[in-house]
Amino acid sequence: MKKWLKVLLAADFFLLLSMGMIIPIYAIFVEKIGGDVLAASGAWAVFTFTSGILIWLFGLWGDKVKHLEKMIFFGYLIRSFAFLGYFFVSNQYHLFFVQTVLGVGVAASLPAYDGLYSRMLSKGKFASEWGTWEGMNLIVAAIAAIIGGTIAKYLGFKTLFIIMFVSGLIGALISLFLMSKKAQKEIKSK
């Protein structure tokens, strides 16, 4: 596995960790801000609809962009600030706004991530290197679910959201290494 692919995986690890900490307990958070099942499902629909439409548009744009790593960085940064946005949510309308911002961040980063990841795969290792990402995704989700539930139970959701923000920010900062001249040279030589 190439060095820069490992950097990309490391950056994504922290974003997956952040997302994974809230997803299993998301409905409980919505209930705590006065929402119900419809508010939880509605807010999730806002996120997925926003992501779905914009992923398609960002994907089209990503095919024309010279530096996918910049899209990844900015997408990760937007997602990190959306995680912080949960800290300030006090009603379902605030939540809908945060879910929209999160959807934009996910849409900005996912097609770029997939494109860059695909570009950096080692010849003859496509299945195993995609398998590395898929396995990491699920293992991190499992660990994050336990961490998120534990933090929310013992320290509260506000603490959880700060930790999610910091974790996301770490991932965004790691992705900056992909913009170095050395990384650019090695990525482009593929």
CATH code of the domain in which 65 resides? 1.20.1250.20
Contact 72, 109 (CB under 8 A): yes
Domain extent, residue 158, equals 3-188
Burial of 128 (0-12, 13-18, 19+ CB in 10 A): exposed
Report the domain count for the chain: 1
CA angle in degrees (0–180, nearest 5) for 10-109-135? 45
Q: For residues 9 and 131, give the distance between their C-alpha atoms in angstroms, rounded to a whole number.
A: 12
Per-residue pLDDT of the chain (190 residues; tens, 9 = 90+): 789 999 999 999 999 999 999 999 999 999 999 999 999 999 999 999 999 999 999 999 988 888 899 999 999 999 999 999 999 999 999 999 999 999 999 999 999 999 999 998 889 999 999 999 999 999 999 999 999 999 999 999 999 999 999 999 999 999 999 988 888 887 776 5
Residue 24: closest CA among 182, 149, 168, 177: 149
Secondary structure class of 166 (helix, strand, coil): helix
Q: What is the pLDDT of residue 75?
A: 98
Q: What is the pLDDT of residue 189?
A: 65
Contact 37, 27 (CB under 8 A): yes
Q: For residues 67 and 93, give the distance between their C-alpha atoms in angstroms, rounded to a whole number.
A: 35
Q: Is the torsion defined by CA of 120, 48, 145, 18 positive or negative?
A: positive
